[in-house]
Amino acid sequence: MAQTGIVRDERYLEHDMGSYHVENPERLVHIYKALDEIDIPLQEIAPRAATREEITAVHDSKYVDRIAATAGKGAVHLDADTSTSARSYEVSLLAAGGMLAAIDAVMGDLANAFALVRPPGHHAERDRAMGFCIFNNIAIGAKYALSKHGLERVLIVDWDLHHGNGTQHTFYSDPHVLYFSTHQYPYYPGTGHYTEVGEGDGRGYTVNVPLTTGYGDSDYANIFRHILRPIALAYQPQLILVSAGFDIYNRDPLGGMAVTPEGFARLTDIIMDIAQAVCQGRIVITLEGGYNLEGQALSVREVVRRLAGAGAWDSGVWEAQEDTAYAQVRGVVSAVKENLQGFWQWDG
């Protein structure tokens, strides 16, 4: 019986910024094809359009009106990297709503889910589109989980190559959402230094792990083990949401990282272990970046396989390899921990 849900819909292909653009419909074409080759049970989750009230929990009403006004029109440029096509407004509502449908399913009978939607969302600010993103799907999802399902603590894990500026800004003063991000830095959009930890009641609930280039499977796993895991266990989230950017894949044309499909599976495994310890395994992942079509599809397939419990491995073997490689990220981990010393307790 399926324990993992998938949001997929051909309408997500109808947002089109041009064949020249790296964020194009072929991303999902390749991913959907790869999922068709998986011989494990997956539960299809039907997306719906997010309501205006759900969108404006994160975005300014006038901004939503500006996006709505693009419906039925040709290319409307929202920023240097982001534009709409005739059905982009409708598809953007469906992307956010697909995330909400996945959250409902996981708060119900399913163990976990992956919302394979586009356009992506984590750069979208309250009143503007940025970096291929129109509505901030994961921020809308977190707000929805708090209000609709009565949760008090939601963890967002963002492993995209780029810092999720929009997500960070949405929850920067909100202790009900803990935002954790690994990202290439300094790089677009320029935010995400480790000293950015939140403000007001939200101080300590933003955790940034800025990285230079070249980090691979063991490095990311060590960061998740030595920073994310102790914070998450202390925070005790009731739901974990993941902004999954596959532009940290080792052959991504925009990235400088070295993560393999097996590395993405390993990160998923660590998050699943955390979720089992704190929130009955409840995880909802949403697609963000990733621009090597074949590599992204293979990586998504490995993540879905892990969510569904396929391809189990001996975590002790992986941890032994990661321990050997720990020196490569020790300085990063120490800097982040020291900066957060007043907010979280560390073992060793």
Distance between CA atoms of residues 342 and 345, nearest Å: 8
Contact between 315 and 269 under an 8 Å Cβ cutoff? The reply is yes
Encoding tokens for residue 108? 């119900």
Q: Which residues pair with 132 in a beta bridge?
A: none
Query: 15 catalytic, yes or no?
Result: no
- 10 Å CB burial of residue 306 (0-12, 13-18, 19+) is buried
Q: Which residues pair with 184 in a beta bridge?
A: 211
The residue annotated as part of the active site, out of 123, 162, 163, 226, is 123
Task: Residue 18: count other Cβ atoms within 10 Å of its Cβ.
Answer: 10
Contact between 180 and 226 under an 8 Å Cβ cutoff? The reply is no
C-alpha dist (Å) from residue 196 to 65, 123, 173, 191:
31, 16, 11, 8
Listing DSSP states for 111-129 in one string gives SEEEE--SS--TT-BTTB-
Q: Which of 172, 169, 165, 209 is nearest to 188 (CA)?
A: 165
Q: Which residues pair with 216 in a beta bridge?
A: 258
Listing DSSP states for 299-342 in one string gives HHHHHHHHHTT-S---HHHHHHHHHHHGGGTHHHHHHHHHHTTT
Distance between CA atoms of residues 167 and 163, nearest Å: 9
**Residues marked as catalytic:** 123
